[in-house]
Amino acid sequence: MKLLFICKASTTTGLGHLIRSRSFVSELLKERPGLEIDFYIIGEPLVERLLTEIKFAYTIVENEDQIPLQANYDICFFDLIPIDPNFFQKVKSRTALTVSLSPIFDKLLEVDLIFNRTKYHQQLTEFLPGQFYGGLEHSIIQSNCKKINTSVYEENLELDQFPIALIMGGGDAANKTLQFLKSLKNCTVPATFWVLLGEGYSHSYNELIEVIKKDSKHEIILAKTNRSMWQILRNCILAILPGGITTYEAAYAGLPTINMLEEDDKYYLIQELEEYEVCFYNGVINEENLDRLNRLIESLYQNKKLLLQMHINSKGLISANSPIKILEICEHKIESFKIS
């Protein structure tokens, strides 16, 4: 079987699409080492830093026109937001099945299948029957993310300094990290804030350091992370996130999260996890909600049992074998095309 992967990654649009596709292919090849895969990344040279440990070939291009469509494919997986319409049609003409791994792809209504990490979607009523596969069983978890033992989590809850992670994405184009640090200095909880900066963080570290200097209540550790991210997170009791793929990895691992989004209409992306009581939604990122974030953390500090229950709620919620399940659904769909 011949597969084509096309994803986009940049400091402005984010690196999550690449991380998800990278994880997806890595897990597929463990189960199906004979798969023939062409993997193209539309992005900046810095994305290569996210590919240092992968064991399959890839090509980084600046735009779609540089992707040579010289072969026919059984399946093309898209993981991006916008794509050139003419290029998309060229791919469709050479591919038996087109699939989106991105819930915000601008050609969702034109692909054959959509796999979404949650059952919710704002365009759900527009999809054709049999086109949308949504649910936690389709969450793609990178292999570096390991489940946190309950005994370890309980020990972390008893620490004098609450270990809390702050992660605003691989690129954090809007520099939300700085905005959050300015507000968190007013939190009265004795906390150690692990501020994890991604490969694409290009803002001034000096600005962050100046804010840290003004915070006498907390220990604050800046860490540039990629592969080591979950080595740090497994020793935290809470993570503050912007509602991306790390929120689902945290639910898999058993780490409660507080999520704040840039836009309210993206709430559906984490709604299911909030319903299962493994994460909090604290509204959009604004001054009022940042102040409310401090009050929430203070409340959780006084109610450690709630955090422990959220950790327990996550057990068995998300499995790590979704890539092979997704491929099997795609294969069955191709067979149904042949029969019809």
Q: Which domains does the chain have, with CATH numbers?
A: 2-141+320-339 (3.40.50), 150-313 (3.40.50.2000)
The reported pLDDT for the residue numbered 225 is 81
The Cα 119–Cα 250 span in angstroms is 18
The reported pLDDT for the residue numbered 306 is 98
The Cα 230–Cα 214 span in angstroms is 28
3-state SS, residue 5: strand
Q: How many residues are recorded in the chain?
A: 340
What tens digit of pLDDT does each residue of 276-312 get? 999 999 999 999 999 999 999 999 999 999 999 999 9
Task: Please give the full DSSP string across 44-68, using - where no structure is assigned.
Answer: -GGGGGGGTT--S--EEESSGGGS-
What Å distances lie between residue 236 and 230, 232, 326, CA to CA? 10, 7, 31
What is the crossing angle of helices 245-253 and 16-31, to 10°? 50
The reported pLDDT for the residue numbered 276 is 98
Report which residue type is found at 99.
Answer: V
Which stretches of the chain score pLDDT less than 70? Answer: 340
The reported pLDDT for the residue numbered 340 is 61
The reported pLDDT for the residue numbered 171 is 80
Do 10 and 44 meet the contact criterion of CB atoms below 8 Å apart?
yes
